Amino acid sequence: MTLMSSIPVLRAADYPAARAFWTETMGFAIAEEGGDPARFGIFKRGRATVFVDSWHGGDPEPSPAWRAYFHTDAVDALAEELRGKGAKIEGPRDAVYGMREITLRDPAGNLLCFGQDID
């Protein structure tokens, strides 16, 4: 048996703010939404997918740990793109484990990391 992929499920108290962040700032497309009004969404960009769940509310406080990690082949270009949309990015920086990474928080406080292999 082989596991093929995994998908982060991020909690958000404010679904419309999360939806705007994932579509407008992050450039993900809405693949599916649930609820009337929508309170759950599946967002995709390239081969990356994220679920956003507001049915269960947001986390009580922002975590210092990553809630999701995304691999990319152009982290510097992604950082420039996101900064151009007003996102507050930390990095890029090279990690001791061979990745060049940026981090940012979504409107719900989830810490997201985007990394590229250092060749």
* pLDDT per residue as tens digits for the range 38-79: 999 999 999 999 999 998 777 767 778 999 999 999 999 999
In a domain, 4, yes or no: no
Predicted model pTM: 0.89
Whether residue 10 contacts residue 110, with contact meaning beta carbons closer than 8 Å, is answered with yes
CATH number at residue 102: 3.10.180.10
In a domain, 56, yes or no: yes
In a domain, 25, yes or no: yes
pLDDT at residue 72 in the model: 95
In a domain, 2, yes or no: no
In a domain, 110, yes or no: yes
Domain that holds residue 56: 9-117
The predicted-structure confidence for 80-110, as pLDDT tens digits, reads as follows: 999 999 999 999 999 999 999 999 999 999 9
Per the structure, how many domains does the chain have? 1
In a domain, 81, yes or no: yes
Q: Tokens in use for 17?
A: 């703010």
In a domain, 62, yes or no: yes
In a domain, 74, yes or no: yes
